[in-house]
A and B are shown apart, each in its own frame.
Chain A
């Protein structure tokens, strides 16, 4: 596989995880520091199923998603009824616990040595089609009743409850869905890089995804996707200015939050209507005059 294809594939897969964070943090305002841990779970469980037990890829992925759902439900049950800060803390603790467990279970996971020799099952087709499906799914979710409920909860949770929305159930579903997105991305990534180690799934990764969502705009799916593509490509494109580029990137985020909190793209979405509007504004103004 050529170099550019390899890099694009990795970016596409990571973007799926970012979409998970988009749903959780962008749409619903839940600040989770453990999303990367779900990615790790997806990666390890599916890799172990295929390499150690010889299961076919689809089955392995289904099993890893199943386990993710169970764990996400468990974590969600314990924490979603309480405060924001607690949620952040518990997801953080969960992330650390998962990494600790993966490192400790050396016989199964290879521990610090990482898990290698994973066959390369992720084809470019699989990765890009997955990303496309993910985008469509999130798009549909936003437009649906469910998506509007999210906005309501995010703006004013108390009012949403009063309006009859089952906030707890809603949050649980979103939490599980975003965990599944992260896990699926993890599985795809494992079968692409052919090597995983526990250190890849720390809280800094989760935070990076949140930052990407806010960069593009928490209300703009297009913004998040484009933001993900740009920001995930940066380390590769700017290999040799690593520290400076991260610095500038942090400054950009601060500028955006301060000056344009809705993100670079605000609420702009890439739809047929917005595209036509982009090419036709001037005519209307002149006519009025």
Chain B
């Protein structure tokens, strides 16, 4: 009985980790290219989740349709966010801190839009969206949304790596991640690269928003889950999306482990200690490149 529970907890941890990984990779796209923490990604997540919700309830679209709507909404919202919140600062070569401030402001703004449109309480996706809720293998179960998230994350990640390594846009984004100025000097249109990064980030955000919304119910504050992406991105290391994904999955596993041992209340304390120790021991993050704040 004990081992069955442990296996189930591992599955729980991986499921949670998959959710975090999808969010984290979308977050990390911007983190890598523009070097700041884009909290507005949470807003993108929220808007896409609600867009999917409308698709599911008003237009009665099936699961696939809902997901596509979410992805589209995410991409559009992300580009709008770039224009409204970050473009000006980037063009004025403003300091990093301004990006922080506008990104959290955008997060709040998008949250308020959701509150005004939908009211502050919460909604659930129709449970008829998924015909099967959970898959059972002997004593273990994995919920279908978790499985879906896991599979989608792997596929999305695979596509992302392909895009980044093999397509022109992807290579340009990687170049920009390395050095924005040098990239523009090479004749690459940096604006286009930035927008592409936001589109990709937005699509991932939309995907994670819809999937998370289905499994966790919707509320205007749904975007605040983005902090998990933030944690994973920083711990995973700058410059490595793989590191971020692994850090996110690890975070999910650690959270489940902590909840089942010391309870939900004290977990943040332990996570904090782990964070500090980790950063002292490996400041460049899990798989990242050493990067000191240049003045």
Contacts and interface: CB of A to CB of B under 8 A. Distances in A.
Nearest to A112: B265
A51 interface: no
B230 interface: yes
B102 A254 contact: yes
Interface stretch (A58-66, A80-88, A136-144, A274-282): A80-88
Interface residues of B, number: 50
B106 A254 contact: yes
A160 to B, nearest CB: 8
A89 B283 contact: no
Interface string A95-134: 0110111011000000000000000000000000000000
Contact of A247 (B112, B276, B293): B112
Interface stretch (A41-49, A185-193, A207-215, A223-231): A207-215
Contacts of A240: none
A152 to B, nearest CB: 10
B126 interface: no
B106 A83 contact: no
Interface in A194-214: 203, 207, 210-211, 214
Given A157-B295, A243-B115, A92 B96 contact: no
B271 A93 contact: yes
Q: Which residue, of B37, B104, B271, B292, has the highest number of chain A Cβ atoms within 10 A?
A: B104
B293 A254 contact: no
A120 B106 CA distance: 38
B100 A92 contact: no
Interface string B277-295: 0011001000000011111
A25 B104 CA distance: 15
Contacts of A25: 97
A175 interface: no
Main secondary structure of the interface of A (DSSP, over half): helix
Contacts of A238: none
Interface size class of A (residues with CB under 8 A): 35 or more
A254 B94 contact: no
A93 B105 contact: no
Contacts of B294: 158
A237 interface: no
A57 interface: no
A25 B97 CA distance: 9
B112 A261 contact: no
Contacts of A92: 227, 230-231
Contact of B101 (A79, A158, A160, A210): A210
Nearest to B230: A89
Contacts of A160: 295
B132 interface: no
B269 A261 contact: no
A100 B279 contact: no
B168 to A, nearest CB: 29
A266 interface: no
Given A78-B276, A246-B108, A156 B234 contact: no
A260 B120 CA distance: 32
A69 interface: no
A250 B293 contact: no
Contact of B105 (A96, A203, A250): A250
A261 B85 CA distance: 12
A208 B272 CA distance: 22
A29 B108 contact: no
A94 interface: yes
B116 interface: yes
B7 interface: no
B174 to A, nearest CB: 20
Given A89-B231, A101-B269, A254-B105, A156 B295 contact: yes
Given A253-B105, A257-B89, A89 B265 contact: no
A90 interface: yes
B5 interface: no
Given A93-B272, A97-B271, A86 B109 contact: no
B272 A97 contact: yes
B279 A254 contact: no
Task: Identify which of B89, B101, B116 gathers the most chain A CB atoms within 10 Å of its CB.
Answer: B101
Interface of B: 31, 36-37, 84-85, 88-89, 92, 94-98, 100-102, 104-106, 108-109, 112-113, 115-116, 120, 227, 230-231, 234-235, 263, 265-269, 271-273, 275-276, 279-280, 283, 291-295
5 contacts: A88-B100, A90-B279, A100-B268, A104-B265, A254-B102
Q: Nearest 5 A-B pairs (CB), nearest first?
A: A158-B295, A250-B109, A100-B268, A97-B272, A96-B268
